[in-house]
Amino acid sequence: MKIFFARLCLLVLIFAATAATAEDGYRLWLRYDPVTDEKTLREYRRSITSIVAPGDSQPLRAAKEELSTGIRGLLGKDVPMVEKPGTLEKGAVVIGTPRTLRGLGGKAELQQAGKEGFIIESSRIDDTPVTLIMANTDIGVLYGAYHFLRLLQTHSDIGSLKIVQSPRIQHRVLNHWDNLDRTVERGYAGFSLWDWHKLPDYLYPRYTDYARANASIGINGASLTNVNANALVLSGQYLDKFAALAGVFRPYGIRLYLAVRWSSPIEIGGLKSADPLDPKVQQWWKDKAEEIYRKIPDLGGFLVKANSEGQPGPGDYGRSHAEGANMLADALAPYGGLVMWRAFVYSAEDRTDRAKQAYNEFKPLDGKFRDNVLIQVKNGAIDFQPREPFHPLFGAMPETPLMMEFQITKEYTGFATHLVYLAPQYKEVLDADTYANGEGSQVAKVIDGSLHDYSHTAIAGVSNIGNDRNWSGSHFDQANWYAYGRLAWDHTLSAEAIADEWLRMTFTNSTAFVEPAKRMMLGSWQAAVDYMTPLGLHHIMGTGHHYGPAPWVSELSRPEWNPVYYHRADKQGIGFDRTRSGSDAVSQYFPPLNEIFNDPERTPEKFLLWFHHLPWDYKTDSGRKLWDELVYRYNQGVNTVREMQKTWSSLKDLIDEQRYRDVEAFLAIQEKEAVWWRDACLTYFQTFSGMPIPKQYEQPAHTLEYYKNLSFPFAPGRGG
Ligand code: GCW
Pocket test of ligand 1: the residue of 184, 225, 309, 541 to mutate, having most ligand atoms within 8 Å of its CB, is: 309
Instruction: Confirm if 475 and 29 have CB atoms less than 8 A apart.
Output: no
Q: How far is the CA of 299 from the centre of ligand 1 (A)?
A: 24
Helix axes 495-506, 478-489, angle to 10 degrees: 130
Q: Between β-strands 162-165 and 255-260, what pairing exists: parallel, antiparallel or unpaired?
A: unpaired
Tell me if the bond preceding 534 is cis, omega within 30° of 0: no
Please tell me the predicted confidence (pLDDT) of residue 718. 85
Q: How far is the CA of 470 from the centre of ligand 1 (A)?
A: 24
Please tell me the predicted confidence (pLDDT) of residue 361. 97
Please tell me the predicted confidence (pLDDT) of residue 193. 98
The closest of 407, 458, 422, 452 to 434, measured between CA atoms, is 452
What CA–CA distances, in Å, run from 317 to 312, 322, 327, 330? 10, 13, 14, 19
Q: Which atom, in ligand 1's list, is nearest to the CA of 186?
A: 10
Q: Which atom, in ligand 1's list, is nearest to the CA of 405?
A: 13
Sign of the Cα torsion 289, 292, 297, 298 reads negative
Instruction: Confirm if 182 and 192 have CB atoms less than 8 A apart.
Output: yes
Contacts of 655 (CB under 8 A, 6+ apart): 507, 508, 513
Residue 703, SS3 per DSSP: coil
Long-range contacts of 157-161 (CB under 8 A, 24+ apart): 158/43, 158/44, 158/47, 158/122, 158/131, 159/43, 159/47, 159/122, 160/122, 161/120, 161/121, 161/122, 161/131
- What DSSP assignment string belongs to 331-363? HHGGGT-EEEEE-----SS--S-HHHHHHHHHG
Sign of the Cα torsion 357, 358, 363, 366 reads positive
CA distance 481 to 215: 12
Q: How far is the CA of 291 from the centre of ligand 1 (A)?
A: 30
Please tell me the predicted confidence (pLDDT) of residue 9. 44
Which stretches of the chain drop beneath a pLDDT of 50?
1, 4-6, 8-20
Q: How far is the CA of 393 from the centre of ligand 1 (A)?
A: 19
- pLDDT, tens only, 569-594: 999 999 999 999 999 999 999 999 99
Q: How far is the CA of 304 from the centre of ligand 1 (A)?
A: 13
Give catalytic residues, as residue numbers: 309, 383, 411
Q: Please give the model's pTM, rounded to 2 decimal places.
A: 0.97
The closest of 479, 519, 524 to 386, measured between CA atoms, is 524
Please tell me the predicted confidence (pLDDT) of residue 105. 63
Q: Which atom, in ligand 1's list, is nearest to the CA of 308?
A: 14
CA distance 441 to 443: 7
Please tell me the predicted confidence (pLDDT) of residue 720. 59
Q: Which atom, in ligand 1's list, is nearest to the CA of 228?
A: 8
Please tell me the predicted confidence (pLDDT) of residue 86. 74
Pocket test of ligand 1: the residue of 176, 311, 344, 354 to mutate, having most ligand atoms within 8 Å of its CB, is: 344
Please tell me the predicted confidence (pLDDT) of residue 1. 46
Q: How far is the CA of 710 from the centre of ligand 1 (A)?
A: 24
Strand order in the sheet with 92-96: 81-82, 50-52, 92-96, 128-134, 118-125, 162-165
Ligand 1 atom 2 nearest Cα = 383
Instruction: Confirm if 540 and 707 have CB atoms less than 8 A apart.
Output: no
Ligand 1 atom 12 nearest Cα = 383
Please tell me the predicted confidence (pLDDT) of residue 547. 98
Q: Which atom, in ligand 1's list, is nearest to the CA of 227?
A: 8
Q: Is 16 exposed, middle or buried (0-12, 13-18, 19+ CB in 10 A)?
A: exposed
Please tell me the predicted confidence (pLDDT) of residue 13. 40
Residue 696, SS3 per DSSP: coil
> Which residue type, as a one-letter code, is found at position 402?
L
Ligand 1 binding site (Cβ under 6 Å of any ligand atom): 177, 185-186, 227-228, 305, 309, 344, 383-384, 411
Phi/psi of residue 22, nearest 5 degrees = -55, 130
The closest of 442, 391, 386, 406 to 588, measured between CA atoms, is 391
Phi/psi of residue 319, nearest 5 degrees = -100, 160
